[in-house]
């Protein structure tokens, strides 16, 4: 019967949850949004930066932070035109660097720009834990997390250790990219993170946003160019169609 099936599902969920770490909110952060993709190079960091800036521009009373969780290939310092090392508070917490009103933290602030991060899994997980828990974010309404590509340890650790309001999946129309994007969405489903937005960057200069059947937004080359120059389009060309 349906009631027996539901009871079995509840029992299975309870058993599985025993092996998961207890989620603990990031101090001072109200809501977390993660940006993820199955593949690299699909515009995830560009989207993360502009979403963070758009959240702040949409309501000037909201405080927004941006966390670059891509340990091996951090992009946020360049896109947000930030460089330097974070200062430490008296409690030995790192103070985020700030530009355009957005508080930012990235591994790119902690290593030389041209230095490769040649770390094994445990060192990467330790770095992610520090970026999550040893940063003085102050009081944030939103923290946007730019995840590394794929569905590995970092994605699972972030998803299982902190409460997440929603995930945004970024892809391109290639079959392999869409396949990987579906894997990413399935991973979030398994750890009970709602996927609230799907963005497909197409080779025909359009972004298709499937937000409860909302329409299309044109993607121009200047979106990439402005991010590469450290002046994201949302802040540098706020009145443009893009």
Domain holding 153, by residue range, is 25-236
Distance of alpha carbon 118 from alpha carbon 21, whole angstroms: 27
Note whether 40 and 177 are within 8 A (CB).
no
Query: Strands 206-209, 195-201: parallel, antiparallel or unpaired by DSSP?
Result: antiparallel
Could you tell me which residues are beta bridge partners of residue 103?
Answer: 65, 98
Judge whether 14 lies within some domain: no
Distance of alpha carbon 235 from alpha carbon 150, whole angstroms: 29
pLDDT digits (tens, 9 = 90+) for 197-231: 666 555 444 444 443 334 345 567 788 888 888 99
Residue 3: CB atoms within 10 A of its CB come to: 7
Residue 38 has pLDDT above 90, yes or no: no
What six digits make up the tokens of 40? Answer: 């690299």
Q: Give the global pTM.
A: 0.77
Q: What is the dihedral of CA 189, 193, 196, 198, to 10 degrees?
A: -50
Note whether 39 and 73 are within 8 A (CB).
no
pLDDT digits (tens, 9 = 90+) for 228-239: 889 998 989 898
Angle 119-78-173 from CA coordinates, rounded to 5°:
80
Judge whether 139 lies within some domain: yes
pLDDT digits (tens, 9 = 90+) for 11-37: 666 655 555 557 889 999 999 999 887
Per residue in 108-134, is it b (16+ CB within 10 Å) or e — as a string?
bbbeeeeeebeeeeeebbebbeebbee
pLDDT digits (tens, 9 = 90+) for 147-169: 887 666 777 778 888 899 988 88
52 pLDDT tier (thresholds 50, 70, 90):
very high
Least confident of 5-19, 101-115, 157-171: 5-19
Share of the chain above pLDDT 90, in %: 31
Query: Strands 216-218, 206-209: parallel, antiparallel or unpaired by DSSP?
Result: antiparallel
Judge whether 207 lies within some domain: yes
Least confident of 89-98, 113-122, 145-154, 155-164: 113-122
**Residue among 125, 124, 135 at smallest CA distance from 66:** 135
Instruction: Please classify residue 157 by burial: count the beta carbons closer than 10 Å to its beta carbon, then call 0-12 exposed, 13-18 middle and 19+ buried.
Output: middle
- Confidence at residue 208, expressed as pLDDT on a 0 to 100 scale: 44
Instruction: Please classify residue 153 by burial: count the beta carbons closer than 10 Å to its beta carbon, then call 0-12 exposed, 13-18 middle and 19+ buried.
Output: middle
Residue 139 has pLDDT above 60, yes or no: yes
Judge whether 146 lies within some domain: yes
Judge whether 114 lies within some domain: yes
Q: What's the total number of domains in the chain?
A: 1
CATH of the domain at 121: 3.40.50.300
More confident residue, 4 or 174: 4
Judge whether 6 lies within some domain: no
Distances (CA, A) of 49 to 25, 34, 132: 22, 12, 18
Residue 128 φ then ψ, to 5°:
-60, -45
Judge whether 2 lies within some domain: no
Judge whether 17 lies within some domain: no
């Amino acid at each position: 019967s349906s009631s027996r099936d539901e009871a079995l599902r509840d029992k299975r969920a309870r058993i599985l949850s025993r092996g998961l770490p207890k989620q603990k909110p990031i101090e001072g952060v109200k809501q977390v949004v993660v940006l993820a993709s199955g593949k690299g190079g699909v515009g995830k960091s560009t989207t993360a930066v502009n979403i963070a800036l758009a959240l702040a521009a949409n309501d000037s009373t909201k405080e927004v932070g941006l966390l670059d969780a891509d340990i091996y290939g951090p992009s946020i310092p360049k896109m947000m035109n930030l460089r330097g090392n974070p200062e430490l508070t008296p409690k030995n917490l790192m103070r985020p660097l700030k530009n355009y009103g957005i508080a930012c933290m990235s591994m790119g602030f902690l290593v030389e720009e041209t230095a490769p991060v040649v770390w094994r899994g445990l060192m990467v997980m330790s770095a992610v834990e520090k970026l999550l828990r040893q940063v003085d974010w102050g009081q944030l309404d939103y923290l946007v997390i730019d995840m590394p590509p794929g569905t590995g340890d970092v994605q699972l650790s972030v998803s299982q250790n902190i409460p997440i309001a929603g995930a945004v999946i970024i892809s391109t129309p290639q079959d392999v990219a869409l396949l990987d994007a579906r894997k990413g969405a399935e991973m979030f489903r398994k750890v009970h993170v709602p996927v609230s937005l799907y963005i497909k960057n197409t080779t025909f200069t359009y972004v298709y946003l499937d937000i409860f059947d909302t329409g299309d937004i044109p993607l121009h080359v200047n979106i990439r160019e402005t991010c590469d120059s450290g002046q994201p389009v949302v802040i540098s060309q706020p009145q443009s169609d893009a």
